[in-house]
Structure formats: C-alpha cells, structure tokens
Amino acid sequence: MYPGFLTDVGGIKLGHASDFEGGTGLSLILPDEGNTGAVEVRGSAPGTRETDLLNPINQVSEVNAFILSGGSAYGLDAASAIMQELEKDGKGFDVGCGIVPIVSQAVLFDLAYKSSKARPDYKMAKLAYKKARYDNKECGIIGAGTGATVGKALGMDKAMKAGLGQASLSLGSLRVAAIVAVNAFGDIFDNERGKQIAGPIVDGKVQTTMDKLGEIAGSFADVEGKNTTIGLISTNATFDKTRLTKVCQMTHDGYARAINPVHTMFDGDTVFGLATNKIKADVNIVGALAAKAMARAIANSIYYSNETLI
C-alpha cells in the first residue's frame, strides 16, 4: 500500500457511514472555513450536486461540505441532511436573511451490489457528520466505497471488490492528498509498480478488459451507467477556483494511469478540488503531485479492500 491520508493536509474533517448489509455508504469531507472548492467531470454518466457553482465564472468559491456516496441519484438525498446539520452549526453562505450551506456531492452506482433498495439516507448522513474528525484514516470497504466494485465488463458475477482509497504526498511544507471511491467499469493498475491489480475474474484469474473488448461489445447496454469513480484532491496551497480547476484536470491523469479504460460512457468520473489556502505553491507542481496521489489512492482502494493483495 502507498502511505498517507486525506487528513494529512490539515484543516479537514472526514467521516463515514456504511450499510454493510445493504452494500452502500457515504464519505463526508468537512473543510475548515476559508477554503476554495473546484471540480472537473470527465465521465459521461455523472450524478452530482452543486458542481455548476464551482465553475470559476460563478460566484461562490468556498464549500462547507463535500460528499462522496453510493446510492446512484438516490444518494443525493444525503446532502439535505448535511445542510441541516451545517445550518444548525451556523456554517454556510451568508445571503443576508440567513445562511445557505454549500454542499457539493458526487455519487456512484452500487445498487446492483447487494440491495437496490439500500441508499445513503438522512440517518447515515447525520451519523457521518457526527463521526467526522481531523484524524480519520479509515480506508477500504467503508463509506462511499462500501458497495464499490470494478472489472464489470464481463458482468457483476465476475466483478472484483474495490472500496475507498487514500494517499498523500509532501514537498517541503506543501501537502497534497487524495481520497477516492473506485467503482470503475475498467481494470485497476498500480502504475508505479507496473502491474494490473484488479479486473474481471474468470476461473480464478484476473482478466484484462481491453483484451475482451471484442467479446463484450454487444453487451455494453448491460453495464451502462452502473459504474463511476468519484474522488477529491486536497492541498494546503492557496488557489482561486480557476487554478484549482486546473489541478482537478491534472488529477484526472491519475485516473488514466490507474484505470483502463477510463472516462467511458458508462462512468461518471468526477474529481473535486479542495484548497485550504495556507501556503503559496505553483499550480504545475501541485497538479503533478495530485495526479500521482490520486493514482496511488486508486491502487490503495484495491489493496485496502482485498486482504490477499496486501
């Protein structure tokens, strides 16, 4: 496994809630005030909330909470519960007559994993809010990764378990960290070690999806919209939304290093960006580190979820 966790950046709380019987969950990121948020969506089947707001041309730049969750579009309900909790704590965008908490969210499709009726709900969201802490280092089959699977090109019966991964890097006082729930259509690779670590399982052996494209071309309708890798890259660097969006774009290179094929019509691949705005740093350096951290976090999502690979 690769070292590091999202909370290594500092000024970020992380909490999870999981329904292990139903096979779904959510992960909640609560940054301290004074942050900047951004997003880049590259997959073609996304389920998201408050992503347009993060466009550099739009008004609000600070985010009160990020949610990564299962449940497909049903999971978006969880944000309403987080808004209620934030409002109680007086956290949100001041609109003069009150506050409006800014909660951005991305969901993945895990309805086919165990129970299609199990979705992150108000109760789970409030539990994650209550459990969120600055030193959370939980990974694997937990939170948004509870129902995550990969290598589904040959069907769910041949898929492999994935989960929630994290990793972090540092360069002097600069910190860059990633968290990701991996539910990809494609296979997973540890690119630094040059090996495939997850994909469809046939007769006990991991297959390579790219080698099976001819066989599965006629069955793409069976996997459409049932995947998605959702993650967040964080840094203690100081960025406005424009430069942080560039970091998110570069972070998607980490997806491409670790997932193949990636950004398909069957995936809603999304990367949020979070800057805590504590130090000055070059956007090129942060983006390069972000891509590396994300690729490592994706590999860790497999390592933490499959004991035989550790």
What pLDDT digit, counting tens, does each position of 132-148 carry? 999 999 999 999 999 99
- Is the pLDDT at 214 greater than 80? The verdict is no
* Position 200, amino acid: P
- pLDDT value of residue 133: 98
CA distance 272 to 67: 10
- pLDDT value of residue 219: 55
| Length of the chain counted residue by residue | 310
CA 116 to chain centroid:
21
- pLDDT value of residue 154: 84
Determine contact, residues 12/134, Cβ cutoff 8 Å: yes
Does residue 228 or residue 281 have the better pLDDT? Answer: 281
Q: Please name which of 168, 200, 194, 165 lies closest in space to residue 305, comparing C-alpha atoms.
A: 165
Q: Please name which of 158, 288, 307, 270 lies closest in space to residue 219, comparing C-alpha atoms.
A: 158
Does residue 237 or residue 307 have the better pLDDT? Answer: 237
Q: 6-309 has which fold?
A: L-amino peptidase D-ALA esterase/amidase (3.60.70)
- Is the pLDDT at 269 greater than 70? The verdict is yes
- pLDDT value of residue 308: 58
Q: What phi and psi, each to the nearest 5 degrees, are found at residue 87?
A: -60, -40
- Is the pLDDT at 302 greater than 70? The verdict is yes
- pLDDT value of residue 310: 43
